[in-house]
Structure 1
């Protein structure tokens, strides 16, 4: 834990220092463990999230020499590791979708909740979104959930998943399109606009 009287080093400097002082790496845990746990818990539940969080920091410690020292914030890197570890728990995650709360669904697609609420109750909409999430490809689902639950912007998701930012945009657009279909929003809009589907970007 860093003293309030000392200058706080950014994540990249902490990682560089940990090459010679391994104990310093614990600073990253202090800073980011809560965010990693929360993201994993939303996808898998609390029990499995503990394991994912612990393994994330073990993997990060082992791979710290390969960290890009020009990147100040290590959170995207850590959430990227957590995302890959979560893929080992596909069955558990599929079960979690069935019990997903309306609150979590609203975080994934707040605009869909608003648009569909007049025609479908929250419980049914949440079930539909859960099924749609299960049908997404791993890459599209991971990208969507890093945005919705990991609270990362496009550039940070690109860093976490080690892909170009254009790929992130494409995956998010594809995932949102499938969620809109599951919620029945596209049908509503096509009827309203006489066949012209809404092509506007939903998020900057």
Structure 2
């Protein structure tokens, strides 16, 4: 640990004696957790997921591994588990997006696109592809593509071996690429390059 004890593990350790210190972890990571949950379930559910993630983290902080300086994978793992409990809502939202092509949460995906009409059809295809993935494959794909976690961080977040992360990610990428095979390649690259590219 650093002399300044500024990493997440140090904050969590300090919060065992001084619970108010845990608010620093919230300040550092709540926005990212909320954004990730919003992309998966929408803003209304994201508020609850974010609050529940940090409440659960606070309650279980005595079990945090102090050898891991960043709590980011741990927090995303908690959020992913909570999102998993909302799986039906997520799949319903993805299917609605697949039908309509409208997704206000993902508007930034099309900022660089030349044609909104074509981009909306890609949204629909991507949403349909995501809805068709198993929960495990979708968690891995979106933690890499939307939360920007490394393979090891995803493995830590979901408590699975890194080999499982790789196999789930490869399977998910294959399915998404197959679903988007008719879309314009530049739009696919704009939408989620990490989600559909190789390794």
**TM-score under structure 1 length normalisation:** 0.77
Residue 72 of structure 2 corresponds to 75
Residue 95 of structure 1 corresponds to 92
**Range moving further from structure 2, 171-180 or 85-94:** 85-94
> Separation in 2 of the partners of 1:105 and 1:140?
24
* Greater C-alpha Rg: 1
Residue 193 of structure 2 corresponds to none
Residue 197 of structure 2 corresponds to 202
1:165 aligns with 2:162: yes
1:128 aligns with 2:95: no
The one of 124, 139, 154 aligned to 2:136: 139
> Separation in 1 of the partners of 2:12 and 2:156?
17
> Separation in 1 of the partners of 2:128 and 2:168?
18
C-alpha contact 2:39 2:105 (8 A) present in aligned 1: no
Q: What CA RMSD, in Å, does the superposition of the two structures yield over aligned residues?
A: 2.9
- Label 1:165 to 1:26 Cα distance change in 2 as closer, same or farther (>3 A): same
1:40 aligns with 2:34: no
> Separation in 1 of the partners of 2:118 and 2:104?
10
The one of 49, 54, 57 aligned to 1:57: 54
> Separation in 1 of the partners of 2:106 and 2:140?
16
C-alpha contact 1:105 1:129 (8 A) present in aligned 2: no
Aligned residues: 178
> Separation in 1 of the partners of 2:104 and 2:168?
23
> Separation in 1 of the partners of 2:107 and 2:169?
16
Aligned to 1:152, what secondary structure does the other structure show? coil
Aligned to 2:17, what secondary structure does the other structure show? coil
> Separation in 2 of the partners of 1:14 and 1:40?
24
1:17 aligns with 2:14: yes
1:184 aligns with 2:192: no
Gaps of 5+ in 2: 186-195
Aligned to 2:45, what secondary structure does the other structure show? helix
The one of 15, 23, 27 aligned to 2:24: 27
Gaps of 5+ in 1: 1-6, 108-113, 189-200
